[in-house]
């Protein structure tokens, strides 16, 4: 929290110092939303209310003029994954029963619905590649021709959680179609369950970029786990959860310790975005154990060992408690090596340690199990629903897509591909 300036006079609530393009800091807008989500989980898992006012202020300040997490100051450079991360944090606030905003402010569930509705609209989904969300929202942005897993993964994740929370079938149907699209374009490998980054519309998304990021695996795993729960334990979704879990452990937990294979072998090769992925993986996998309990005996011991490795290297700085990114070595490596201030690195370890308390907390709530957040099916623009009880049926033109943040230009030293410039 010492790296967060948003609650100081003259600063902007909700965001970490940045964006880099303006020379204001290392962090893009979406990472503020990810940080807010980390602290919403922290509050639920620990009971510590110290940062709730800061989180409330930041979450509400960034809702934008239409209360859909598209503030004009950031819309011109916004990706579907950027908006999606804020939407997932709003959904988390509803599920965790984070204190509701004042009645004259937008409510957590309605904010999540607004993000989902804007992304489900026809202008976000087109016929290229047979469907799917593009990475970027404005058509003039670099990356608008790229359909990626993280953008679609956010949409899938929010939809699966809205289905469980509201018990509305349309959310589930969109989530199913998003999964089917990701599978059809082979962003999810059919044999080994690798999860790849994305492809370009001018190649019909067949030029699949094989780079893998841990958060792509984890965001799909969590969404699939919510669908497993929503479908009362269907074998189909159980199998998808199991396969993603196995591939995640195989590729991203060598020696039972979180490891970012795309960039970590080349110290200094990770972007500020990638330096925050481990925390999301720990948080989302912890929740998987609650909504898909058959995974608990596999996930919880893994997270405990990985967290211990994380803590072992938090020995830096004047306090002797500053954390780096490289957990497997057991030695502190200053974030300056990666040219960041360390917000992602610190957030990773906070998330990992907090998540070890998951077994002492209640599962994510729903509107039938004590959830208090008020929803609005028409939030986010043109209503997807005719009323609060039933969303309209999906039409052929509504084919949902997929994807959640991505990027890159793969470094030759990694020998994986070619990074494509990220934001």
In this predicted structure, what is the pLDDT of residue 400? 30
Query: Mean pLDDT throughout 148-155?
Result: 98
Residues 111 and 137 in one domain: yes
Contact predicate 26/20, CB 8 Å: yes
CA distance 380 to 366: 21
Query: E strands of 34-168, at which residues?
Result: 146-148
Residues 374 and 357 in one domain: no
Distance of CA 269 to the CA centre of its chain: 21
Q: pTM of this prediction?
A: 0.91
Least confident segment among 123-137, 181-195, 266-280, 368-382: 368-382
Confidence of residue 388 (pLDDT cuts 50, 70, 90): very low
pLDDT in tens, 77-103: 999 999 999 999 999 999 999 999 999
Residues 242 and 258 in one domain: yes
Element at 300 (helix H, strand E): helix 296-312
Domain count for the chain = 3
Q: Is the confidence at residue 10, as pLDDT, over 70?
A: yes
Question: Within a domain: residue 76?
Answer: yes
Query: Mean pLDDT throughout 185-198?
Result: 98
Residues 10 and 141 in one domain: yes
Residues 37 and 128 in one domain: yes
Contact predicate 108/89, CB 8 Å: no
Q: Is the confidence at residue 415, as pLDDT, over 80?
A: no
Query: Mean pLDDT throughout 304-333?
Result: 96
Question: Within a domain: residue 415?
Answer: yes
Give φ, ψ of 11 to 5 degrees.
-100, 170
Contact predicate 265/254, CB 8 Å: no
Task: For the chain, give the mean pLDDT.
Answer: 91
Residues 12 and 56 in one domain: yes
Q: Is the confidence at residue 302, as pLDDT, over 60?
A: yes
Domain enclosing residue 315, as ranges? 212-361
Residues 348 and 310 in one domain: yes
Listed residue (84, 105, 108, 85) closest to 96, CA to CA: 108
pLDDT in tens, 96-138: 999 999 999 999 999 999 999 999 999 999 999 999 999 999 9
- CB count within 10 Å of CB 269 equals 17
Contact predicate 130/60, CB 8 Å: no
Residue 423 vs residue 95, higher pLDDT: 95
In this predicted structure, what is the pLDDT of residue 382? 53
Question: Within a domain: residue 355?
Answer: yes
Contact predicate 124/131, CB 8 Å: no
In this predicted structure, what is the pLDDT of residue 412? 31
pLDDT in tens, 330-349: 999 999 999 999 999 999 99
Listed residue (59, 100, 44) closest to 371, CA to CA: 100
Residues 110 and 41 in one domain: yes
Listed residue (272, 278, 262) closest to 414, CA to CA: 262
In this predicted structure, what is the pLDDT of residue 380? 83
Residues 114 and 233 in one domain: no
Contact predicate 240/180, CB 8 Å: no
Residues 380 and 397 in one domain: no
């Amino acid at each position: 929290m010492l790296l967060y300036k948003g609650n100081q006079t003259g600063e902007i609530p909700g965001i970490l110092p940045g964006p880099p393009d303006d020379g204001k800091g290392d962090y893009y807008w979406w990472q503020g939303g990810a940080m807010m989500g980390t602290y919403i989980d922290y509050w639920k898992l620990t009971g510590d209310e110290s940062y709730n006012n800061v989180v409330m202020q930041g979450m509400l300040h960034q809702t934008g003029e239409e209360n859909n997490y598209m503030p004009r100051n950031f819309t011109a450079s916004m990706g579907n994954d950027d908006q999606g991360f804020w939407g997932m944090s709003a959904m988390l606030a509803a599920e965790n029963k984070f204190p509701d905003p004042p009645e004259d402010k937008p409510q957590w569930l309605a904010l999540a619905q607004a993000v989902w509705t804007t992304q489900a609209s026809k202008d976000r989904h087109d016929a290229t590649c047979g469907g799917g969300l593009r990475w970027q929202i404005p058509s003039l942005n670099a990356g608008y021709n790229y359909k990626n897993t993280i953008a679609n993964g956010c949409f899938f994740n929010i939809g699966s959680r809205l289905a469980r929370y509201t018990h509305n079938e349309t959310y589930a149907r969109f989530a199913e179609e998003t999964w089917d699209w990701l599978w059809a374009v082979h962003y999810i490998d059919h044999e080994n369950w690798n999860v790849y980054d994305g492809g370009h519309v001018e190649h019909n998304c067949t030029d699949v970029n094989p780079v893998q990021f841990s958060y792509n695996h984890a965001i799909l795993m969590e969404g699939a786990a919510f669908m497993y729960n929503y479908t009362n334990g269907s074998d189909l979704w159980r199998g998808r959860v199991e396969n993603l879990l196995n591939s995640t452990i195989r590729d991203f937990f060598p020696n039972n310790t979180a490891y970012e294979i795309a960039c970590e072998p080349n110290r200094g090769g990770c972007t500020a975005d990638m330096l925050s992925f481990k925390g999301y993986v720990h948080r989302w996998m912890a929740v998987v154990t609650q909504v898909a309990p058959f995974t608990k005996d596999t996930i919880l011991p893994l997270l405990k060992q990985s967290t211990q490795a994380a803590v072992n290297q938090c020995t830096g700085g004047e306090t002797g408690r500053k954390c780096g990114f490289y957990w497997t070595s057991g030695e502190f490596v200053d974030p300056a090596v990666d040219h960041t201030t360390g917000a992602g690195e610190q957030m990773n370890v906070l998330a990992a340690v907090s998540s070890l308390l998951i077994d002492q907390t209640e599962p994510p709530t729903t509107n039938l199990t004590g959830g208090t957040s008020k929803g609005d099916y028409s939030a986010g623009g043109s209503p997807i629903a005719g009323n609060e009880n039933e969303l309209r049926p999906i039409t052929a033109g509504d084919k949902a897509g997929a994807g959640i943040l991505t990027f890159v230009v793969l470094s030759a030293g990694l020998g994986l591909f070619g990074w494509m410039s990220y934001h």
